[in-house]
Amino acid sequence: MRMDKDNTVVVEGNHMRATFLLGLPSLGTVSTKFVVAFSRLQMPVNCAAASMVVERMEVGVARSYIAEEYVKMNPRPRYLFFLGDDMLPPWDGLVKLWQEMETGKWDILSGLYYLKSDPPSPLMRRIGITGPLQFGKHWQSGEVVPVDVCGMDFVLIRPEVFEAIDKPYFKTGFKFTPTDLNGNGSVMMHTEDTFFLEKVREKKMRIGVHTGVRVGHFDGQSGQVF
């Protein structure tokens, strides 16, 4: 463990034999529900995880920091595993993600979870389809579904993704889109995950959501699980 500037705590484990680097960006407040769910999370057989927990850092900066440290590791764990501290994963969620990733069909694979919204909205988007992908129309329970946008809070990422794209990997900010010949356009806010996934799509890499891995999304204010 070491203390970086601005009281950011970075905790690192032994990655010499790790299959996963667990990257956990956190504001430093963790619910007991998360602790219990995380303690039950099973590792695949003969697999192990090193961990890096970054506290009190803006989420885009935190994710980029973790990804950059991951890329520099030698030996490098086979996957970067991002986990949000408001997620309630099923005990076999990581096992199922790993099994599907080992098929070689995906570069990024997320579990299925819902935005904290009313009504809850699955974090699955595909360019050309308005709104989230709809159950029964675009996907069935248990399927692994190709998407253009997924969540980053229960996801496995291959190292080749970071080798293919430029830094910064993640960035929260604004994007200007011209709409006419005079350069007039619109300014849109983008989150760190959409910034990252746009870079990934440009490289024609494969993004998926495993709908058989249903992850709870916990709201600490209301106590509701989405």
Q: Which two tokens stand for residue 68?
A: 């950059």
- pLDDT for 139-157, tens place per residue? 999 999 999 999 999 999 9
Query: In terms of DSSP bridges, do strands 20-26 and 49-55 run parallel, antiparallel, or are they unpaired?
Result: parallel
Q: How far apart are CA 89 and CA 112, in angstroms?
A: 10
Q: Which two tokens stand for residue 65?
A: 């920091």
> Is residue 103 scored above 90 in pLDDT?
yes
- pLDDT for 65-80, tens place per residue? 999 999 999 889 999 9
Per-residue pLDDT, averaged over 76-98, amounts to 96
> What pLDDT, on a 0 to 100 scale, did the predictor assign at position 8?
56
Per-residue pLDDT, averaged over 112-140, amounts to 92
Query: In terms of DSSP bridges, do strands 124-125 and 121-122 run parallel, antiparallel, or are they unpaired?
Result: unpaired
Per-residue pLDDT, averaged over 124-141, amounts to 93
- pLDDT for 178-221, tens place per residue? 565 565 545 455 689 999 999 999 999 999 999 999 999 998 88
> What pLDDT, on a 0 to 100 scale, did the predictor assign at position 7?
47
C-alpha R_g of the chain:
18
Task: Flag whether the pTM goes above 0.85.
Answer: yes
Cβ count within 10 A of residue 133: 20
CATH number belonging to the domain at 2-171+206-217, selected among 1.10.287.130, 3.90.550.40, 3.40.50.10680, 3.10.20.30: 3.90.550.40
Cβ count within 10 A of residue 17: 11
> What pLDDT, on a 0 to 100 scale, did the predictor assign at position 67?
96
> What pLDDT, on a 0 to 100 scale, did the predictor assign at position 36?
94
